[in-house]
Amino acid sequence: MAKREEYEAMTEKLLEPIMEANHFELVDVEYVKEAGSWYLRAYIDKEGGITIDDCELVSRALSDLLDEKDFISDAYILEVSSPGLGRQLKKDKDFKRSIGEEVEIKLYKAIDKKKEFAGVLTAFDQDTLTIETEDENTMNFNRSDIAMVRLALDF
């Protein structure tokens, strides 16, 4: 397991009791390097949406646990936030919650000279995602070919 994945998994474990105690959902944890700095990000949600006070509560509790366990050797910036409107879908629970929602799919390699597709998520399994496009075509994608899936933003 890569260092990044190890840090993310360990952080998820630290967050579990905080999430349960506050009836929050842990959407994702990521440990990434951007512009020369490491970031440890936790994305949280709850019914009705997350507030700044919710993020602060989780950030303080998690920060204390991270200081206590001290398993990340690099200097990093801790961020706790809502996943936002155009949230990425990564885990099966994300796909399950998003059945019937419009999604945007970006592929690693083009199909018929297109790398981006949009439609209503109608099904998924371990290997594939299925959407129905605006012109009522059903499209299946191998999950291994998908670079990113996120909820579509309608303005």
Q: What is the pLDDT of residues 37-77, one digit of tens each?
A: 999 999 999 988 899 999 999 999 999 999 999 999 999 99
Q: What pLDDT does residue 85 have?
A: 75
Domains and CATH numbers, the chain: 3-81 (3.30.300.70), 92-151 (2.30.30.180)
Across 101-129, average pLDDT: 93
The pLDDT of residue 141: 95
- Taking alpha carbons only, the member of 104, 105, 80 closest to residue 27 is 80
- Supply the mean pLDDT for the chain: 92
**155 band by pLDDT with thresholds 50, 70 and 90:** low
Question: Cα dihedral sign for 85, 9, 65, 76?
Answer: negative
Percent of the chain's residues with pLDDT above 70:
99
- Could you read off the pLDDT of 77-97 as tens digits, one per residue? 999 999 877 778 888 888 988
- State pTM to two decimals: 0.73
Q: Phi and psi of 90, rounded to 5°?
A: -125, -40
pLDDT at 15: 97
CA 155 – CA 153 distance, rounded (Å): 6
